[in-house]
Amino acid sequence: MDYEFKKNTLDGSYYCHCSMGHEILGRWVQEEIGKDQAKVREVLALLAQARANSAKEWSRTGPEISLLICGDEVTIQDNVLLMAYDDQESEFELYESESIACCGLEDFEQLMLQWLAFIQR
């Protein structure tokens, strides 16, 4: 998983761009975490809890995007995917593929640590 952080020096906004297949991770970092260092630390604490008790599922539901930790895998998904619908042949299949991403616990932890270092500069 590749990612890049950017800061708009004109308005002070921060951006996280992730590689194809992981776009939702970048959105989650920007929209759910932003430059709030306390939220980053909460997520890092959640990762530590998940590592200590890997048999349990851990989650953090945000207004738009949610985080789920199960074992050594992290899943980020758009909350709209949590809603059930009957359409077998979804016309939103492409959208769905950009609305969920999985990565390893260690990779995700590195992303969060690097994001924290980036927003602290």
Decide: helix, strand or coil at residue 114: helix
Distances (CA, A) of 84 to 6, 59, 90: 36, 19, 12
* Total number of domains constituting the chain: 1
Question: Residue 48 belongs to what domain range?
Answer: 3-120
The pLDDT of residue 84 is 56
The pLDDT of residue 103 is 96
Decide: helix, strand or coil at residue 91: coil
Decide: helix, strand or coil at residue 84: coil
Count of helix runs (H) and strand runs (E) in the chain: 4, 6
Question: Tens place of pLDDT for every residue, the chain, 121 residues?
Answer: 899 999 999 999 999 999 999 999 999 999 999 999 999 999 999 999 999 998 899 999 999 999 999 999 999 999 987 665 555 555 555 456 679 999 999 999 999 999 999 999 8
